[in-house]
Amino acid sequence: EQYGRSSHVYDGECFDFIVVGGGTAGCVLANRLTEDERTTVLVVEAGGDPPYESMFPGLFPTMAGSRVDKNYTSEKDERAQQCHRNRVANLTSGHMLGGSSGLNYMLYVRGAPPDYERWAAAAADPAWAWPQVLPYFIKSERLMDPGLLNSPYKIYHGTHGYMGVAREHRREIHKFLEAFRELGHEVLMDVNGDRHLGFTNPLFNIAEGVRQSAAYSFLAPIVHRKNLYILKDTLVTEVIFDENNNAVGVKVKTQDGAILCLVARKEVILSAGAFRSPQLLMLAGIGPREHLADLKIPVRSNLPVGLNYQDHVAVFMSIKMDKSNASSAPPNKHLFPLPAFVGYVALDKRQAYPDYQVVNFVVPHDSEVPFNLCAFGYWYDYDICHNLRNGGKGRNTLFSTLNILHPRSRGRVTLRSRNPEDPPAIHTGMFSDERDLDDLARYLEDHARIVNTTYFKSVGAMIVDLKLSMCGGMRVGSGQYWRCHARCMMNTMYHYAGTCALGSVTDSRMRVRGVRRLRVVDASVMPTLPGANTHAPVLMIAEKAADFIKEEHRLCYKK
Ligand SMILES: Cc1cc2nc3c(=O)[nH]c(=O)nc-3n(C[C@H](O)[C@H](O)[C@H](O)COP(=O)(O)OP(=O)(O)OC[C@H]3O[C@@H](n4cnc5c(N)ncnc54)[C@H](O)[C@@H]3O)c2cc1C
């Protein structure tokens, strides 16, 4: 009941705004647009309420592959996931109120100013530059970490927003942070302020032991608003246009199979995520002319929809540390499953923004988390996951996931058919630009240098040999080995973006070009990936969109 009942709506019913997708961006819009009591908003979400396990940070590893994961899979290509059981990437995606924020790994990070300078250039609008986006990061945030609140970093954070943000204070990470300091990295209190390179105890969308999904933070507190309508378990199958190319509503299919047409007096806003927003556009004839012609869809607006698909490519490495036979404390579902710390590293030390991010888990010898992530989260071949487990037997380990923050490769989302219930085809394009592979190999080599620091040497630290058959005969730790390792172990960081990019598909206010009264507001509009995980940037995008919309339609403002 936290999210109320699904609204009863009738065929032909009118609303001011219809938001397609009650995911991360959709929940923010639902909240901000209904601040004006005269404005009616309908949110249509394909999934239902988030399940119990979504509430608890410690249970996140159980969510991939569950009923609230839409579990898209990538198309096969000659480079794809060569060490995965099904040779495709499992593109986990939230299918519930809150969308992917209901099952993500909860890291809260924004990126660095150059990321947003790139957006401003792509959109040809300074509204996307760092000084203009920072207030919108701050707006949604309610920082609850006393250390940061009493530090000079406080000025970079919000304390009155809907989304709780906090850190865990787990002593296990400190010796590791010191080791990275010895290697020449800074240990930063916060990477969300004015410094963006170094290792840190990360901020999470976790507060008081509860996941701060967009549904929990933005929707639950306001579901009682009389001007908000939420239609759950309902798929939007079509955006409806009038003869003048105005988006005037949507067609939906409800859980019991009823087809309804619903009218938007002001705008239709697509917040269906980087796979489904481009799909709905293309089904409406908004997309690349040749592709639409293949499916005999008349062209409404010839735009590069679905192109420019991007994701951060991730690869893990495990390092065995000290021997241990002590039993771990029982799991606590209110905590992140393992102590964690994160590094942001540039190979060129003169650069002010990172090339790669490394998320590190401190793993006690008896933890099953890495095996479970390996086998059931990432779908690597079982042999590899067994080698991961056996290679670290009797030892505590450091499990690190590196990802390339500014990939050059681009993929593409295309229609598989004209049926809106068919998932689109996702060509990830990972490593289509081979320089990404070279870079990732260099990052792995760079990270592995940690085994030469004092603490690591004192415990006889060694890279766990995953015995990758593809890389047989190569010395683990050599440059040649890391390139092979990267190719074999490539994976998604789940940061799907870029398919309806600012500047090309939309104007700088996220309005779809060539038509009217239609906007895209979600990860699809990112012209390039920020050097960060994408949840906080999506919240920022939605907060900004809400202000654009309020301004254009003269809605009542709450700053
Ligand atoms: C496993 C995983 C781990 C991640 N970890 C992190 C992390 O630690 N930190 C971080 O910052 N980011 C992380 N991310 C990324 C981040 O969560 C996403 O980038 C962000 O949530 C995407 O928001 P969105 O609004 O674009 O899409 P979503 O939140 O996915 O929302 C799209 C919504 O639209 C609905 N929908 C789709 N089609 C239709 C339709 N036709 N009709 C009706 N509804 C529809 C979907 O059901 C969904 O609810 C992770 C993502 C995943 C999947």
Phi then psi dihedrals of residue 45, to 5 deg: -120, 130
Ligand 1, atom nearest to 69 Cα: 53
Q: Is 236 annotated as a binding residue?
A: yes
The distance from CA 166 to its chain's CA centroid, rounded to whole angstroms, is 18
If you take atom 33 of ligand 1, which residue's CA is the nearest one?
A: 23
Give distance in angstroms: CA of 217 to centre of ligand 1.
15
Angle at 379 (CA atoms; ends 475, 317), nearest 5 degrees:
35
- CA angle centred on 429, ends 508 and 370, rounded to 5°: 105
CA 376/CA 372 separation, integer angstroms: 5
| 46, 21 contact by CB (below 8 A) | yes
Q: Give the 3-state secondary structure of residue 92.
A: coil
Distance between CA atoms of residues 186 and 183, nearest Å: 9
Task: Give the pairing type, strands 259-270 and 286-287.
Answer: unpaired
Q: How many CB atoms lie within 10 A of CB 500?
A: 34
What pLDDT, on the 0 to 100 scale, is given for residue 79?
87
Q: Does the beta carbon of 276 sit less than 6 angstroms from any atom of ligand 1?
A: yes
Ligand 1 midpoint to CA 272 (Å): 8
Whether 521 lines ligand 1, by a CB cut-off of 6 Å, is no
Question: In terms of DSSP bridges, do strands 187-188 and 198-200 run parallel, antiparallel, or are they unpaired?
Answer: parallel
Read off the tokens for 155: 């000025």
Angle subtended by helix axes 130-140 and 113-123, to nearest 10:
110
Nearest CA to ligand 1 atom 2: 104
Name every residue whose Cβ is closer than 8 Å to that of residue 478 and which is 6 or more positions away in sequence. none
The β-bridge relationship of strands 203-204 and 395-404 is unpaired
Domain-wise residue ranges, the chain: 14-53+213-306+497-552
* Angstrom distance (rounded) from CA 549 to CA 516: 13
77 burial level (CB within 10 Å; 0-12, 13-18, 19+) = middle
- What is the structure's pLDDT at 124? 98
412 CB-near residues (< 8 Å, 6+ apart): 306, 307, 309, 427, 429
With a cut of 50, list the residues of the chain below it in pLDDT. none
Does the CB atom of residue 273 touch ligand 1 within 6 A? yes
Indicate the angle between helix axes 535-552 and 130-140, nearest 10 degrees. 100
* Residue 54 CB–ligand 1 contact under 6 Å: no
Cβ of 340 less than 6 Å from ligand 1: no
Index of the ligand 1 atom closest to the CA of residue 496: 19
User: Is the distance from the beta carbon of residue 545 to the nearest atom of ligand 1 less than 6 Å?
Assistant: no
The 8-class DSSP code of residue 310 comes to B
> 381: which DSSP letter?
-
Q: How far apart are CA 372 and CA 199, in angstroms?
A: 26
Two structure tokens written together for 547: 């202000």
Predicted model pTM: 0.98
Token look-up 């590196």 returns 402
Query: What is the rounded CA–CA span in Å between residue 272 and residue 12?
Result: 22
Q: Residue 97: count other Cβ atoms within 10 Å of its Cβ.
A: 33
Report d(CA 222, CA 507) in Å as an integer.
30
Distance from C-alpha of 192 to C-alpha of 478, rounded to nearest angstrom: 34
Question: What's the CA-to-centroid distance between 311 and ligand 1, angstroms?
Answer: 13
Q: For residues 111 and 107, what is the distance between their CA atoms, to the nearest angstrom?
A: 12
Rounded to a whole number of angstroms, the CA Rg of the chain reads: 23
Compute the residue count for the chain.
559
Q: Is any ligand 1 atom within 6 A of the Cβ of residue 27?
A: no
Give catalytic residues, as residue numbers: 495
Ligand 1 atom closest to Cα of residue 277: 38
What is the CA(101)–ligand 1 centre distance, in A?
Answer: 6
Closest CA to 435 of 323, 313, 545, 557: 313
In which region does residue 139 sit, left (phi positive, over 0), alpha (psi from -120 to 50) or beta (all else)? Answer: alpha
Closest Cα to atom 50 of ligand 1? 104
H-type alpha helices, 102-238: 113-123, 130-140, 146-149, 174-182, 214
The residue contributing the CA closest to ligand 1 atom 1 is 104
Burial of 238 by CB count in 10 Å (0-12 exposed, 13-18 middle, 19+ buried)? middle
Closest CA to 234 of 34, 71, 11: 11
Pairing state between β 228-231 and 41-44? parallel
CATH topology of domain 14-53+213-306+497-552: FAD/NAD(P)-binding domain (3.50.50)
pLDDT digits (tens, 9 = 90+) for 140-157: 999 999 999 999 999 999
The CA distance from 436 to 406, in Å, is 9
Give the distance (Å) from ligand 1 centre to CA of residue 534: 9
Atom of ligand 1 nearest to the CA of 236: 42
Question: Quick check: CB of 272 below 6 Å from ligand 1?
Answer: yes
Q: What 3-state DSSP class applies to 427?
A: strand
The number of the ligand 1 atom at minimal distance from the alpha carbon of 95 is 47
Q: How far is CA 164 from CA 108, 154, 207, in A?
A: 10, 15, 5
- Predicted-complex ipTM score: 0.99
**Cα 49 to ligand 1 centre (Å):** 14
